[in-house]
Structures are given as C-alpha cells and as structure tokens.
Structure 1
Amino acid sequence: MKNILITGFEPFGGEAVNPSWELAHALGGEVIADTRVVALQLPCVFGVALSTLDEALVRVRPALVLAVGQAGGRCDLSLERVAINVDDARIPDNAGAQPVDEPVVPDGPAAYFSTLPIKAMVAALRTAGYPASVSQTAGTFVCNHVFYGLQHRLAGQGVPSGFMHIPYLPQQAAQHPGAASLPLETLVAATRLALHTALTQNEIRMGAGQLD
C-alpha cells in the first residue's frame, strides 16, 4: 500500500499543545483513497526538523506529503502556495536558535511552489463548508523552513508535496482573547477531505518547480 506522510510540530512559543501534531496524530494509521497515512512529529528546531523529515522520507517513501503547522493568527485551513529560501525568526526556536536573514539551503533557488493541487483542495473544502484559502506566505520561521526543505528534497521526484497552516485549537484560543480556533474534529475531517482531493485530483499543477 502507498503511504501519505503528514507532519506536525511539537508545541512551541509557550503553548502546551500544537494543533498540527494533534491533527497529524489523529489521522495517523487511517487509509484514504487506498493510501495509508503515516504521521510524524517534527521538532520546532531549525535544521533538526529537516534532518528528522529526511529520515522519514527515506523510511516511508511517501506518494504524497503534507506538512502542517500552527498559525495562531489565522481563522481557516491555509494551503500555502510558496516557500522562500529565508530563515528569519521573530522568536527563538525550541533550541534557542534565532537565525536572521539566513538561507534554508545555501545556493538554493529563491523559492519553490507547492506541488499539491492547492486550489482544488481549497475548492473541495469550501464546498463541504470548511473555512479554507490559498495563502501567499508561509512566514520565515520553522514552518517555512520545513516547507522549503521539503520542496527542495522532493524537487523532480514526482511526489506531490506542500504545506498547510491551521488555527489554534479552542483550548489555546481561550488563552489568546480574540483569536480564532477550530475544533480538532473539524480539522481532522477537513484535512481528510483535502488529502483525498489531493490523491484523486488530476489538475495540472502550474508552477510545480522552483522560482529563480
């Protein structure tokens, strides 16, 4: 059976949980469109996150990869369009590193596009009543670091891959007045649909390579 690799991060920034890992863990072991979901927790640490991802790519040999991260200021499932070759941390990572204007991959291309059918995924989510959008920026913290590293490692291999940001869970939003949130069961159901769409969608993926 083919595998989907879905990744989420450990908690960071003083949070007790990270919705991306709760989501990935909940989907781990499921079978979607005859493809098994394998969940992986990534450390919220520059460099180490990518080495952990590299090991999993070799071990799992996925047919599709979706990396997921927390975006506390957002209110929907945000399918990211582009990863940029910049690490520029507003806060330290979980190991205390705080790179400023450093490349993710020295001498790598300026950016990579997602190779997932992100517009089809967003359309399917919206049709089903889930809040979703295409996002034009994944930031410059460890989420973008992983997104860029993922696209760099899989470039030219024909494995659809990309990144999605999700909001806080309700228990987190209670600590952040005014912040949007989505229940875990909603995130799981929506992501299941998004993955099914990605696996079965034959949309021509424009911009499926690098940006120089």
Structure 2
Amino acid sequence: MILLTGFEPFGGETTNPSWTAAAAASAILKADGHAVAAVELPCVFGQSITVLGDALQRYDPELVICVGQAGGRPRISLERIAINCDDARIPDNAGNRPVDEEVVPGGPAAYFSSLPVKAALEALRTAGIPAEVSQTAGTYVCNHIFYALMHSLETRLGAPTATRGGFIHVPYETQQVPRGSGTPSLPVAVMAEALAVVVRTAMSTTTDIRLSAGTLH
C-alpha cells in the first residue's frame, strides 16, 4: 500500500496543488496496478499529525509521501531533511502560530528522508521534469508533518519500521499565478506525474545512488 498526502488550501488561497497533485498521482498509480490511498491533511499544527497518524494506522503503508506547496520555487523539491522546529511566519488555518517550539518535545534534532532522493532526482530529470534536492522544508506545517512522519516511522511500533517515507514540495499550480507575473509554476498534470515517478523509483530502488545534488548556500 502506498499513502500519498497533500494539504488543504492555506494563506488565503482557494486551492493547494499539493492535494490536487497527490489525488491525481493516486489515479495514475492505481492505473499502474498499485494499491494507493490519498489523504488530504489540514494545514494546522498538531491536527495534521493526528490525521496522518490515523491514516498510517488505517492503511499500514509500505511507502508514504507527503506533499506540500512551496510557492515561488521553480522545481519539484525532494526534501532531504526534517528538523524538530516549528517557527511559523504566518498563522495556520486554525490561527496557531508556534514560535521556536519542538514538533516532538525531546525528539531528535532532525530526521533524513528514507526515500531514494538522488535516484528520484535522476528519474525526474530523465522524464524532463524540473527537480532538485532541497536541504530545507521550512519551519511551517510542511516541515511539521515531515518530521512527524519520520518520527512515527522510527518509533510507532517501538522500533524503526520497514515503511519508507519522505516529503516533496511542489511549486504553484499554473492557474494560481497571474499571467505574465514571472512567478514559477507547473501544471498539476506535471506535478502528478512527478509524484508517480518518485513512487515508481522508490518502489524499485532499495539503495540510493550517489549523485551530486548539494548547494553552496
């Protein structure tokens, strides 16, 4: 079973491409013959973790990919690391605005994705989809759920599970961006195919490849 999640709209937006892309990717993967569930998460600190936890319990997936919107980024961002820090620049959809709080009190400082991010990067580039490995998922609800996911996979059965998981940021959807603004965006269909490529890569790759994808700053 594969679990994909995306977020509800936030910050005054009427849509969130992370959810529309995750739902569309679910349909693509089902057509491939995979068992897939897609779940929309609230853009709310704490509550999003509860909904994710319920989905993990219900579906007991072997692969989990959570998706969020990173408006302004030009590429599909394969997130490498989640940090144990909530520091919200804007309130979430319930008005919460934690500052310098831990996602999991007393938890490790960070967790690395257990997805084959370098192999996925290569596969995306081969497919002609703009992609990158990102070294930060921010400190808003996206990082919050990414950290909670990895912490859950590490501890929920009293020991690390065989389930692999990670987080992907997608740009704005093309229709969110005013024409001629120059703001980077991608069609939802491209985002959905990107997620399907990552899933296929993860399902066929147990050991990641070595590929330079770091940054200087």
TM (normalized to structure 2)? 0.90
Contact 2:21 2:192 in 1 (8 A): yes
Query: 1:57-136 residue pairs with structure 2 within 5 A?
Result: 57-136=56-135
Distance 1:48 1:162, change over 3 A: same
Aligned-residue sequence identity (percent) comes to 55
Deviations 1:96-118 (A, max 9, x none): 00000000000000000000000
Question: How far off is 1:173 after superposition?
Answer: 1.4
In the alignment, is the contact (CA less than 8 A) between 2:65 and 2:167 conserved in 1? Answer: yes
Within the alignment, does 1:6 sit opposite 2:9 as a pair?
A: no
Alignment gaps of 5+ in structure 2: 155-159, 211-217
Kept after mapping to 1: 8 A contact 2:85/2:102: yes
User: Contact 1:27/1:37 (CA < 8 Å) preserved in 2?
Assistant: no
- What residue is the counterpart of 2:15 in the other structure? 17
- Residues 13-66 of structure 1, C-alpha deviations (whole Å, 9 max, x = no match): 011100000011112353376531210000000000000000000001101000
* Closer, same or farther: CA 69–78 of 1 in aligned 2, 3 Å: same
| Deviation (angstroms), 1:175 | 7.7
RMSD: 1.7
Return the alpha-carbon distance in structure 2 between the equivalents of residues 180 and 167 of structure 1: 7
Question: 2:119·2:209 contact (CA, 8 Å) conserved in 1?
Answer: no
Contact kept in structure 1, 2:117 and 2:208, CA below 8 Å: no
Q: Which residue of 1 aligns with 2:214?
A: none
**Selected match of 1:177 from 157, 166, 181:** 181
Q: How big is the shift at 1:202?
A: 2.3
Tell me which stretches of 4 or more aligned residues in structure 1 moved more than 4 Å. none
* Shift in alpha-carbon separation, 1:169–1:158, aligned structure 2, 3 A: same
Is this contact kept in 1: 2:118–2:209, CA < 8 A?
Answer: no
Note if contact 2:67-2:167 (Cα within 8 Å) is conserved in structure 1. Answer: yes
In 1, Cα distance between equivalents of 2:114 and 2:105? 22
| Structure 1 gaps, min length 5 | 207-212
TM-score, normalization: structure 1?
0.92
2:195 is aligned with 1:196: no
Which range moved further: 132-141 or 167-176?
167-176
* Match status 1:159 vs 2:163: yes
After superposition, the C-alpha distances for 1:166-194 in whole angstroms (9 at most, x for unaligned) are: 00011111289331000011111121111
Matched to 1:4, the amino acid is I
Match in the other structure for 2:157: none
C-alpha separation between the residues in 2 aligned to 1:189 and 1:87?
30
- Cα deviation for residue 121 of structure 1 reads 0.3
Provide the residue aligned with 1:209 in structure 2. Answer: none
How far, CA to CA, are the matches of 1:125 and 1:4 in structure 2? Answer: 19
Counterpart CA distance in 2 for 1:176 and 1:140 is 30
Change (3 A) 1:147 1:205: farther
